[in-house]
Structure 1
Amino acid sequence: MQQDFTSRRSSSHQVQCARRDALRRLLGASLGAWWLPHVSHGQSAPALFRIPTREQQLAAVGPLDKLPLVEQRAFEITDDFQTIRAPKPADWLAQHKERRQTFESFQRTPRNIPSSIANTIYVLPLGAFIEGKGPALTDLQEFAGAYFGLPVKMLPGIPLESNKAITRRTRDGTRDEELVQYLSTDILKAMLGHVPKDAFCVIGITMEDLYPEESWNFVFGQATYADRVGVFSFKRYSPEFNGEEWNDETRRRMLRRSCHVLVHETGHMFGITHCTWFECIMCGSNHLGESDSRPMHACPVCLRKLHSSAKFDLVARYRKLLTFHEKHGFTDEAAWVQKRLQRLGTSH
């Protein structure tokens, strides 16, 4: 069953662009907003994406010779990392022009950095999470903690249906069913009152569908980098939404997708932009097929950016990720992490 990932076009392209620009201004420095344009397979890309050369990739990672040996091995470009592929017409890089962010340019960019006071990632459930009908919150907490090497805590949830400060609308869904949606910008405003003093950021997660303004069909999520809050929906990752049954395989797939988007968007909170160097968890995605094709790990460039801010133990991080992948049957990622541990000169 083909899923519709396009957002509705306004009657005037200029009006749509003006609304989009106004929305971006409202969100401030928003690195995590996913807006999904109408895709025309005959439409020319805004700019021809060029596959990076190995020399460009090496320059993006930066010099490693003065780093400790374990860091040199962790950030070294090896066959474990696949160079980013050329985008297909409907893919992210065919529709969006991305500025390449090297480790050096990342270091020069003003960004949020965890401190001894504010170093906790908070996850804020929005609406109901029914057992067996979505990702387990404890699993999301465990994966984020392993990935970032920072404390990850759950906040008490916020109800959506009874919250008068959050606008909702109902429209026909993909199968002629009513689809309730919540205004993401309202949610972001409401979340500002739920940022603890020790928070590095607060990530809101929900099983409800979101929209950013009336002219859009939906949005996967949005984040305000300056305010360190973001909201992301798992609704369209659900087997039910895609006409599938709940079983072990579809639950595993939904958990993978949910973990992927959680750490991808939290990665933006660190100032990491979309990766254009390798197949990486930080690559932009325009549709589920593209997102599913991305790995759950960071490339050498993005890993070095993250490590420079979070300061985690690289070996301990990979061991925790391996435990998670093995527990949940993510066999490809588990095998990949095992190779990385061997590369770092240790066994799991």
Structure 2
Amino acid sequence: MHPSTADPATDALLDLIPFGEMEPAALTVVAANLQAVAGLPTRIRAVRPTPDDALIATRHQFDAVKIITALDREPHGAPFRMGILQRDLCIPILTYVYGESQLGGHAAVISLHRLHHIDRRITAERGAKIALHEAGHLLGLEHCREPGCLMRFSKQLDQLDLLPMRFCSACEYETARLLKRASVNRRP
């Protein structure tokens, strides 16, 4: 945790940072679920330009690791930062990712690109599930084996759609414990 760089003017533990054009409703749903489901006080920041320095032109995708690295280097704001964009994400060893985060770190990024559904509510719900999953990783949670847990790895959208908007009891307990520790560590 970067307690010395936390913004004391806010109680937010996570800054949700939109990159490029973003559906406002999807952004609101993601932030609301980070707060309601994970108990993670979230602040939506101003829209930033798409991070073109992270573009892998040959793949027409954005390198999630480069975005995370840039977010992690920011000196001010909430202790945790999550970028969100409509463009496709990847990491060099995978064709695509819905999201990526630093396990027990400070920064994550998610993409709504592959989550689109004709029903905007489903797109927003999928985004919220990915954001909650990546927030769990930020707090230090690894993938869970429980079938009904948001920390279970979902490779396909049909797997993601089957997950309820909640953590299993063990991951919920750990989330609350780790959030309490994060809140205490950020106090001056």
Place the TM-score, normalised by the shorter chain, in its bin.
Answer: 0.7 to 0.9
Residue 299 of structure 1 is aligned with which of 168, 174, 184?
A: 168
Partner of 1:218: 96
Structure 2 regions of 5+ residues with no counterpart?
181-188
The answer as to 2:81 corresponding to 1:191 is: no
Shift of 1:280: 1.2
Aligned residue number for residue 169 of structure 1? 57
SS of 1:252 mapped into structure 2: helix
Pair 1:121-2:11 in alignment: no
Distance 1:138 1:145, change over 3 A: same
Larger Cα-atom Rg: 1
Aligned 1:1-348 pairs, distance under 5 A: 120-130=13-23, 135-160=25-50, 163=52, 165-170=53-58, 180-194=60-74, 196-197=76-77, 199-213=78-92, 216-225=94-103, 227-239=105-117, 246=118, 250-311=119-180
Structure 1: which 5+ residue stretches go unaligned? 1-111, 172-179, 240-245, 312-348
The alignment's C-alpha RMSD in Å is 2.7
**How many pairs were matched up?**
175
How far residue 277 of structure 1 moved from its aligned partner, in angstroms, is: 3.6
Contact 2:151 2:171 in 1 (8 A): yes
Residues 81-136 of structure 1: per-residue CA shift (max 9 Å, x gap): xxxxxxxxxxxxxxxxxxxxxxxxxxxxxxx6x9xx686111111121145xxx53
**Contact residue 195 and residue 202 of structure 1 kept, 8 A:** no
Aligned partners of 2:54 and 2:63 also within 8 Å: yes
The answer on whether the counterparts of 1:237 and 1:258 sit within 8 Å (CA) in structure 2 is: yes
The answer (yes or no) to whether the contact 1:195–1:201 under 8 Å persists in 2 is: no
Q: Letter of the aligned partner of 2:149 in structure 1?
A: C
1:216–1:307 Cα change, 3 Å: closer
Tell me the distance in 2 between the aligned counterparts of 1:136 and 1:290: 20
**Does the 8 A contact of 2:30 with 2:125 survive in 1?**
no
Aligned residue type for 2:137: H
TM-score of the pair, normalised by structure 1: 0.45
- Matching residue's letter, 1:256: E
TM-fit CA distance, 1:260: 0.6
Q: 1:227, CA displacement in angstroms?
A: 4.1
Residue 337 of structure 1 corresponds to which residue in structure 2? none
Q: Between Structure 1 and Structure 2, which shows a larger proportion of strand residues?
A: 2
Q: Which string of whole-angstrom CA distances, capped at 9 and with x for unpartnered residues, describes residues 206-247 of structure 1?
A: 11001222x6432222212354111111100113xxxxxx4x
Q: For 2:71 and 2:178, how far apart are their aligned partners in 1?
A: 24
Q: Which residue pairs with 2:185 in the alignment?
A: none
Q: Report runs of 4+ in structure 1 exceeding 3 Å deviation.
A: none
Q: TM-score, normalised by structure 2?
A: 0.79
The percent of aligned pairs where both chains have the same amino acid is 27
